[in-house]
Copies of this chain bind each other. A is one copy, B any other.
Amino acid sequence: MARTTIHDIAKELHTTAATVSRALNDHPSISAATKETVKATALRLNYQHNRAASSLRSGKTYVIGVLIPSAEVSFFGSVIHGIEKIAKSQGYNVLLFQTNEQYEDEVQGVQTLLQSNVDGIIASISKETIQYDHFLEVKRRDIPLILFDRSLEGLDVPSVMINDYKGAFMATEHLIEQGFTRIAHISGPQHISIFHERLKGYVDALAAHGMKIDGDLIMYGKVTIDSGRTCAEQLLQLPSPPDAIFAAEDFTALGALQAIKESKWPKPGQIGLVGFANEAFSAYITPSLTTIDQQTALMGEEAAKIFMDLSQKGKKPDLPPQKIVLEPLLVQRESSIKRKPKKKSIP
């Protein structure tokens, strides 16, 4: 019933716990023969390494704390997936803490993870968070801290972001290449940097292709289905309406699609539409939505890899924190296909 310890193994082999410990950890100064018998005996006695004891002594827990707003949001589920995958491959485990997008919970989360002696923390800050005092204790303890997707001004730590500017540029350019000539953009609140970046990408793509920027074609929405619908309705009622819409985000695009479907003109297929995020529904709506994929699982993997780097190097000469910027991916579907105008019988 009682758990087997290294002492039990030592007793069995008439040796000491020190030797058993070294053998199990493949310490270089232990003979191959000893290692073999020790490991065989460990297996026979159904020995399980006790991590609590090990980490109390060594100071390492092989646990990465992951602090996210909510595991229920598919974006974060995907990132966790990537983190855990890499972590596991290096002998680490993932301890999860959800902040529910609340500052108070985030503060408590950092505390909890520190009490658990995590070897590092990978976090995406809550929407409420505007100051970072709670993260300073993490830095003070020299525990690697890596942020993903959402960063915090002033907190100088490694991070993994997606290139929003480029994603928007690609989305817009794709519509241009499809042959659309009046491309509108439904953006989001400009104080949120990702939406500002996406707007810039849109503007620059138009400019790069010698197209005029028309203020009438740029709407500022609220990142919801309803807002996307309202913005699109207004766009369609312009004296000179757009022939394509790039929405800053998939739910906005979905709303825009609803507006298009409800309008007399254009019909879906006569107006190009691109979203951003590659949400779970994007592939299945009608028409399926062309969008920008954010490589969410890869984001987690990269964050975990930065952690591995940091914890292996230990205290390297203070390099500036690594900032990884992931390439967005254009996912081409039906909503951005430009229908060739039917040949009119012109003599």
Q: Which residues of A pack against B, CB within 8 Å?
A: 3, 46, 48-53, 55-56, 61, 63, 66, 70-74, 76-78, 80-81, 84-85, 88, 93-98, 111-112, 114-117, 137, 141, 254, 261, 279-281, 283-286, 297
Contacts and interface: CB of A to CB of B under 8 A. Distances in A.
Given A51-B117, A279-B280, 18 more contacts: A48-B114, A51-B116, A52-B52, A52-B56, A56-B56, A63-B95, A71-B71, A72-B78, A74-B280, A80-B96, A85-B98, A88-B97, A88-B98, A93-B96, A93-B97, A94-B95, A284-B285, A285-B286
User: Which residue, of A50, A63, A71, A280, has the highest number of chain B Cβ atoms within 10 A?
Assistant: A71
Contacts of A93: 95-97, 112, 116
A80 B71 contact: yes
A93 B98 CA distance: 10
A73 B117 CA distance: 29
14 contacts: A48-B114, A48-B115, A50-B115, A51-B116, A52-B56, A52-B117, A53-B56, A71-B77, A71-B84, A72-B77, A74-B77, A254-B284, A261-B286, A281-B281
A84 B56 contact: no
Contacts of A88: 97-98
Given A96-B84, A98-B85, A286-B286, A297 B115 contact: no
Nearest to A59: B52
Nearest to A81: B72
The main secondary structure of chain A at its interface with chain B is mixed
A101 B53 CA distance: 31
A279 B284 CA distance: 11
A63 B93 CA distance: 12
Copies held by the complex: 2
A73 B88 CA distance: 18
Contacts of A3: 141
Contacts of A55: 52
Contacts of A95: 63, 93-96
Q: Which 9 A-B pairs have the closest CB atoms?
A: A77-B77, A281-B281, A280-B280, A72-B81, A281-B284, A71-B80, A71-B81, A52-B56, A94-B96
A149 to B, nearest CB: 16
Nearest to A76: B77
Nearest to A281: B281
Given A48-B111, A77-B76, A84 B63 contact: no
A98 B117 contact: no
Contacts of A280: 74, 279-281
A168 B48 CA distance: 45
A51 B115 contact: yes
A346 to B, nearest CB: 33
Contacts of A50: 56, 115, 117
A118 to B, nearest CB: 10
A192 B81 CA distance: 26
Contacts of A53: 56
Contacts of A116: 51-52, 63, 93
A74 B56 CA distance: 36
